[in-house]
Amino acid sequence: MIDVKQAAQSASNFIVGLYSNETLSEVMLEEVELSEDGKYWLVTLSFLAPSSSVNSILGIRGRLYKIFKVDTDTGEVVSMKIRELQHAAA
């Protein structure tokens, strides 16, 4: 079984490879959680939205958050999803 540090590194390598044509800045580890069945690490990373033309057209700016599902046996990233933030009530 891979440890939490290896899971975070797998997720980071995955996102950098996915955006290989762009420079990601300020990639940060936000959360790590072991799934209830123990089969996956759920790793949340954030980064500043790349300033690509697609992002500019869509109006995407600021920090993006992604959840990566990392297999605990192989360290392979099996999924990536958008992480929706929940704001605390005032």
List of domains in the chain: 4-82 (3.10.450)
The DSSP bridge pattern shows strands 25-34 and 40-48 to be antiparallel
pLDDT for the residue numbered 20: 81
pLDDT for the residue numbered 51: 63
The structure's pTM equals 0.82
Helix (H, G, I), strand (E, B) or coil at 58: helix
Q: Which of 42, 64, 38, 41 is nearest to 51 (CA)?
A: 64
- Note whether 57 and 65 are within 8 A (CB): no
pLDDT for the residue numbered 59: 55
pLDDT for the residue numbered 52: 57
